Amino acid sequence: MDLSVQVRNARLDAIETTIGTAPIMRLFTGSAPASTAAADSGTEIVAITLPSDWLAAAAGGSIALAGTWTGTAGASGTVAHFRVYDSGDTTCHMQGTVTATGGGGEVVLDVVAITSGQTVAISAFTVTDGDA
C-alpha cells in the first residue's frame, strides 16, 4: 500500500494528540519490554516531563521533538531504551531505542553512560511513518 505524504503526516500528528500534553519520557538500561503493555524493564535512569507541545508538526512522513527535553538522572547506568507515558504516568504509549549520536536510535543522547545527578539532554527524537 502506498499512502500520500498528507496521510502519513496525519497519522504521525495523531501521536501527540493521543498521548496528550506534558507526557513523561522514561529512559532505562537494558532491552525494551516486548510491548508497551508489558511492565517496565531495566533500571530507570531518568524521567523527563516533556513540554506541553512536545512534537513538531509532521513533515515528509516523519515527526521530531519540539522544545527542550532535559532531566536529572536519579540513577547511574547505560541508557538503552525509552518509554513515553501520558501526563498521568499511567499508560505507556510508545517505546524504542536510545543511542549515542550516530547510533541510529529513535532517541539520541550525546552520551548514553549516565551518572546519577547528571543533566540528561535529548538531542534528537524522530519517528518515521512505516510507509515513508
Task: Say how many domains are in the chain.
Answer: 1
Four-residue CA torsion sign, 87, 60, 28, 122: negative
- What is the pLDDT, as a whole number, of residue 131? 65
Say whether pTM exceeds 0.85.
Answer: yes
Dig out the grid coordinates for 84 from the structure.
513515553
Short-list 71, 77, 88, CA closest to 21: 88
- What is the pLDDT, as a whole number, of residue 130? 80
Separation of CA 123 from chain center: 11
Task: Give the whole-angstrom CA distance, residue 102 versus residue 84.
Answer: 22
What digits encode the pLDDT tens for the residues 61-89? 999 999 999 999 999 999 999 999 999 99
Strands 119-128, 62-64: pairing kind: antiparallel
DSSP 62: E
Domain interval for residue 31 = 5-128
What digits encode the pLDDT tens for the residues 2-50? 889 999 999 999 999 999 999 999 999 999 999 999 999 999 999 999 9
